[in-house]
Amino acid sequence: MNDIDKPKQLREMIRTLERKLGILSESEIVCCGITMTQCHALVEIGRAENISLNELAQLLNLKNSTMSRTVNNLVANELVKRDIDPQDRRYVTISLTESGMKIFKGIEEGMNLYFKKIYNFIPENKQGQIMESIEMLVDAISKNECCK
């Protein structure tokens, strides 16, 4: 394959990866009864323990209005709660409820197990190379996002 086709090949490989992971994500989310965006939000809130709406929107690369609607749905489903900062009443943090924590732990355990299995299918002498390559890919994507 010539060098001109390499970006197309990268695109097709990433599309295939997205589809394969999308199937996983959909099956994982169905059991929890929440959308993909809500799942991502739940995981980030769980990992941070307390996070502001703005920080959460930045992490997920979403507009604040979209993030607000997502959090509103999670609050309505009693998976997250909003807490007003006692020092600055304008600052609201978001954290998981007990129900949200159970779902978060289930998602984390399920995804960790799934990716452990995938990782173990990679030949041991190539595992470091895969990790380094994915890190470089994420870095390249991040650099492209900053320059739109």
Taking the CA atoms of the chain, what radius of gyration do you get in angstroms?
18
pLDDT digits (tens, 9 = 90+) for 25-53: 555 554 567 888 898 899 999 999 999 99
How does the average pLDDT of the chain come out, rounded?
Answer: 86
What pairs with residue 80 in β-bridges?
96
pLDDT of residue 27: 56
Q: Which residue has the higher pLDDT, 32 or 59?
A: 59
Count the neighbouring beta carbons within 10 Å of the beta carbon of residue 105.
12
- The answer to whether residues 52 and 82 touch, using CB atoms and an 8 Å cutoff, is no
pLDDT of residue 71: 95
**In angstroms, rounded to a whole number, what is the distance separating the alpha carbons of residues 98 and 103?**
9
Domains of the chain: which residue ranges?
3-146
Could you tell me the fold of the domain covering 3-146? Arc Repressor Mutant, subunit A (1.10.10)
- Give the Cα-Cα-Cα angle 115, 119, 120 (nearest 5 degrees): 120
Average pLDDT (79-93) is: 87
Residue 148: pLDDT over 60 = no
